[in-house]
Amino acid sequence: MKQFVLIRSFRPFTLFCAVTVAVCAVTAAVCVHRAEATAAVKSGLPLKGKIIAVDPGHGGPDPGAIGVTGTAEKEVNLVLAKKLKRLLEEKGAVVVMTRDSDKAFSDVKKEDLDHRAAIVKKSGAELFLSLQCNAVPNSALRGGQTFYFPGSDKGKRLAEAIQRRFVTKLKNTDREALTLSSAYIMSALDIPAVMVEVGFLSNPEEEALLKDDGYREKIVAAIYGGIRDYYREEKDAPSWLPFGAGRDKTP
Ligand SMILES: [Zn+2]
């Protein structure tokens, strides 16, 4: 009888303890995130509270473009993405990477890109940047080139802001941002999205630069500068402007 009483009283107590531990764990996790967000907001950092997705293009069995001396695009993209992540985090942003190692989520390109898009959507990111390297038969071509999805007003402004930094700071091009409708991952996202082609691996000089750590730092600084310019312009855009002229509903 005594044993029965003990067992009966033990079960609710065990349940109570389990529930208490679970509630404490969830509360602790929420508190940690809130504390991080609060710290970021209080910090006064330029990208405080921003969630930004960075996608190192290609990976795993898909090397992307191959440079004149054999440099694989996927490796350049990953190194640059990691550097960009560090810099954006220093400036207060939360950064979500679609991959942080040499891998693809599927041998089928569309499945790989769908998986990356799902990571971005789940993260709650408000901007998407895919880092890429160019390669063309004409080995004389060089310099950075940004692309945005047609019809995306904010994507256009982000691409233009980064492109301006390439022109004025990196000084490796005089091109303008262009539309690109064939980039599947941009069409799969409903946030401002930009493909950043940092340079041409098919140009021997630029391939050497893209392997240089100092030049990589400059590329990343230029991309960060463009992101910061974009947010400044968004903040300054009058809210009364009609669609297409300033703030609007398009990503
Ligand atoms: Zn690529």
SS3 category, 148: strand
Residues linked to residue 72 through DSSP beta bridges, in sequence order: 66
Give the domain extent around 139. 47-236
Paired sense of beta strands 193-200 and 51-56, if any: unpaired
* Residue 246 neighbours by CB distance under 10 Å: 16
Centroid of ligand 1 to alpha carbon of 54 (angstroms): 14
Q: What's the gap in Å between 117 CA and the centre of ligand 1?
A: 16
Asked whether the CA dihedral 120, 184, 223, 158 is positive or negative, the reply is negative
pTM score, whole prediction: 0.80
Residue 77 lies in a domain: yes
CA of 237 to the centre of ligand 1 (A): 33
In a domain, 51, yes or no: yes
Ligand 1 centroid, distance to 60 Cα (angstroms): 13
Confidence at residue 116, expressed as pLDDT on a 0 to 100 scale: 98
Q: Kindly report which listed range (24-28, 143-147, 174-178, 237-241) carries the lowest average pLDDT score.
A: 24-28
> What's the 227 CA to ligand 1 centre distance in angstroms?
21
The model's pLDDT over 34-44, given as tens digits with 9 standing for 90+, comes to 345 445 555 68
Q: State whether residue 55 is helix, strand or coil.
A: strand
Q: How many domains does the chain have?
A: 2
Pair (57, 171) in one structural domain: yes
Distance between Cα 73 and ligand 1 center (Å): 7
Q: Do 5 and 89 sit in the same domain of this protein?
A: no
pLDDT digits (tens, 9 = 90+) for 113-156: 999 999 999 999 999 999 999 999 999 999 999 999 999 999 99
Does residue 39 lie in a domain region? yes
Residue 242 domain-assigned? no
In a domain, 243, yes or no: no
Both 172 and 63 in a single domain? yes
